[in-house]
């Protein structure tokens, strides 16, 4: 009976003088050497030598020769060399060696020319193992045009395949290693192509890779440097990616997943809205091959409900950390800072929902039925009440400085701009306090007043509203805000509408001064007149230019 070849037999062949012997040895190795047997792989690697492996790879690429072989076996040599290299790289010290790092450009070249080939998966395995083994690996991957190659090839990979998973991990690795500012400026087009592919994976998959896709999309789209990618996505002729993202987010939010994953879905939703606008929340929910129909308002309702839950939980946790615990350590400050950043995302989504509802009602477009509209408004009312209670808690504890408090006033202001009479008694009770709130870096209240101006302008059209504002001294805050907006030391803000809202609010008070017994003190009047004179002079100069 004939005995099967042993590892020692393979090693003898690999150490042979002729290429044919070494090829035979490698072929035997691939049949019985297990991928997790690092000791055996190391012995084989040392026996065959990097020189022969390099020649074998280049021959397979058409850049060299093995013995007297012609082109007939080139594909087989390519398959064998890449398979063996990927196997060797399962040994960490081999993967991190300079010899393997130097092969990254060659493997990328193979990938760019071999889409659909059997060698593709081994190429991705090699790149992943080398890039994760050392910093030089991921640096070489990026500098060799890895992002460009991956962007062109990912769309050819099967959904949920091992190759697609490795490709996504390679992209994530480069994003976490190289400056996002540089990547976004140099590869905005490639990142946009990747978004389209990854969004499909996010929508159609129902395994762990779905969450990988979620995190990768968030990393690409929510970065502060992602403006070039946003601009490219806006002008893409095929916007199916946005439908894929909507479907994926709905799947995350409507199922039982970890709170951290739901937060990631909200971060992604906020990023997509910043690209496409609030109406993205209302749209197609069906994949091209889907059988079951999903209502177009499903995403809106789930995003709002999840945001409302986040707001309630985060405000409760922040109140406890700030007012109930005596822990003033740096770690506690870091926890508070993280929760404030998460709160900003949830607040932003609630504000965008307010804006969407306002536009839908104003345009009289039948995008929402009465039942959905009622659910949304009811939810918004409840959340505004929760935020007002948080502000009440801050007032009770003598706290009026903080970005979380300022963001709370902004949300309240957004809602009251549309429904100025909502929560009337609570707003009246807290109005003076809200007008005194300062951001963390503000020397005095300013933005809190700007956020409330739309509501103040509306309520002061009536005598009762004027009385409410004057009773808490709010008229002085509005005047001081206007002086800051138009005076020589004016605050630079994008929304010039604040100037006119402040002017209208003051005019409303002046027109009703007899009924409400209102007058500006002499000092305030002088400062306001000087600011108005300066502003009109500035406008005249600008107009002449």
Two tokens, residue 161: 């395949």
Please state the pTM of the whole predicted model. 0.88
Q: What is the three-class DSSP state of 462?
A: coil
48 within 8 A of 25, measured Cβ to Cβ: yes
How far apart CA 11 and CA 359 sit, in angstroms, is 74
Question: In angstroms, what CA-CA distances link 133 with 107, 140, 447?
Answer: 16, 12, 49
Across 416-486, the runs of DSSP E, i.e. the strands, are: none
Which 3-state string (H, E, C) describes 247-315?
HHHHHHHCCCCCHHHHHHHHHHHHHHHHHHCHHHHCCCCCCCCCCCCCCCCHHHHHHHHHHHHHHHHHH
Measured distance between the N- and C-terminal CA atoms of the chain, rounded to whole angstroms? 101
Name the residue among 68, 69, 146, 74 with its Cα closest to residue 111. Answer: 146
pLDDT (tens digit, 0 to 9) for every residue of the chain, 545 residues total? 345 567 777 777 777 777 778 788 777 776 655 667 788 888 888 888 888 888 889 988 887 666 555 556 788 888 888 988 998 999 999 999 999 999 999 999 999 987 667 789 999 999 999 999 999 999 999 999 999 999 999 999 999 999 999 999 999 999 999 999 999 999 999 999 999 999 999 999 999 999 999 999 999 999 999 999 999 999 987 889 999 999 999 999 999 999 999 999 999 999 999 999 999 999 877 776 666 677 888 999 999 999 999 999 999 999 999 888 776 677 788 899 999 999 999 999 999 999 999 888 777 667 788 888 899 999 999 999 999 999 999 999 999 999 999 999 999 999 999 988 888 899 999 999 999 999 999 899 999 999 999 999 999 999 999 999 999 989 999 999 999 988 887 666 666 789 999 999 999 999 988 888 777 788 888 888 888 888 887 775 444 34
Question: In angstroms, what CA-CA distances link 531 with 443, 486, 502?
Answer: 20, 6, 13
């Amino acid at each position: 009976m004939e005995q099967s070849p042993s590892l020692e037999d393979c090693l003898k062949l690999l150490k042979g003088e002729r290429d044919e012997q070494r090829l035979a040895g490698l072929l035997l190795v691939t049949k019985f050497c297990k991928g997790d047997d690092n000791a055996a792989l190391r012995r084989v690697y040392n026996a065959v030598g990097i020189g022969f492996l390099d020649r074998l790879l280049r021959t397979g690429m058409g850049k060299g020769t093995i013995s007297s072989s012609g082109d007939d076996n080139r594909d087989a040599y390519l398959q064998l060399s890449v398979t063996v290299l990927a196997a060797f790289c399962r040994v960490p010290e081999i993967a991190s060696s300079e010899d393997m790092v130097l092969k990254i450009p060659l493997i990328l070249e193979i990938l760019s020319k071999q889409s659909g080939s059997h060698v593709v998966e081994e190429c991705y395995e090699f790149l992943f193992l080398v890039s994760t083994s050392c910093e030089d690996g991921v640096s070489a991957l990026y500098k060799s045009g890895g992002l460009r190659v991956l962007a062109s090839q990912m769309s050819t990979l099967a959904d949920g395949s091992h190759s697609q998973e490795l490709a996504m991990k390679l992209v994530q690795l480069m994003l976490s290693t190289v400056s996002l500012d540089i990547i976004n400026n140099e590869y905005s087009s490639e990142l946009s192509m990747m978004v389209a592919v990854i969004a499909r994976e996010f929508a159609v998959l129902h395994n762990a890779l779905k969450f990988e896709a979620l995190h990768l999309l968030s990393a690409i789209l929510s970065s502060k440097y992602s403006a070039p990618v946003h601009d490219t996505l806006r002008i893409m002729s095929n916007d199916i990616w946005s439908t894929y993202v909507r479907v994926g987010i709905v799947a995350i939010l409507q199922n039982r997943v970890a709170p951290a994953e739901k937060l990631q879905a909200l971060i992604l939703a906020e990023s997509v809205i910043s690209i496409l606008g609030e109406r993205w929340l209302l749209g197609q929910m069906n994949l091209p091959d889907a059988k079951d129909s999903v209502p177009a308002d499903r995403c809106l309702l789930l995003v709002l409900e999840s945001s409302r839950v986040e707001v309630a939980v985060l405000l409760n946790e922040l109140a406890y950390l700030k007012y109930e615990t005596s822990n003033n350590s740096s770690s506690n400050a870091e926890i508070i800072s993280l929760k404030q950043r998460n709160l900003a995302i949830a607040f932003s989504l609630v504000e965008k929902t307010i804006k969407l509802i306002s536009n839908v009602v104003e345009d009289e477009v039948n995008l929402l039925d009465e039942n959905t509209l009622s659910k949304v408004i009811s939810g918004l009312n409840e959340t505004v009440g929760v935020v007002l209670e948080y502000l009440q808690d801050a007032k009770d504890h003598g706290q009026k400085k903080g970005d979380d408090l300022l963001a709370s006033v902004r949300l309240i202001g957004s809602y009251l701009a549309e429904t100025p009479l909502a929560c009337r008694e609570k707003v009246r009770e807290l109005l003076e306090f809200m007008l005194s709130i300062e951001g963390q870096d503000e020397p005095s209240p300013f933005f809190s007043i700007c956020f409330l101006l739309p509501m103040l302008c509306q309520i002061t059209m009536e005598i009762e509203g004027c009385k409410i504002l004057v009773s808490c001294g709010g008229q002085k805050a509005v005047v001081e805000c206007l002086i800051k907006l138009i005076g020589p030391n004016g605050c630079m803000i994008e929304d010039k509408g604040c100037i006119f809202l402040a002017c209208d609010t003051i005019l409303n008070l002046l027109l009703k001064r007899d009924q409400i017994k209102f007058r500006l003190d002499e000092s305030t009047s002088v400062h306001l007149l000087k600011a108005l004179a300066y502003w009109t002079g500035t406008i005249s100069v600008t107009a002449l230019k």
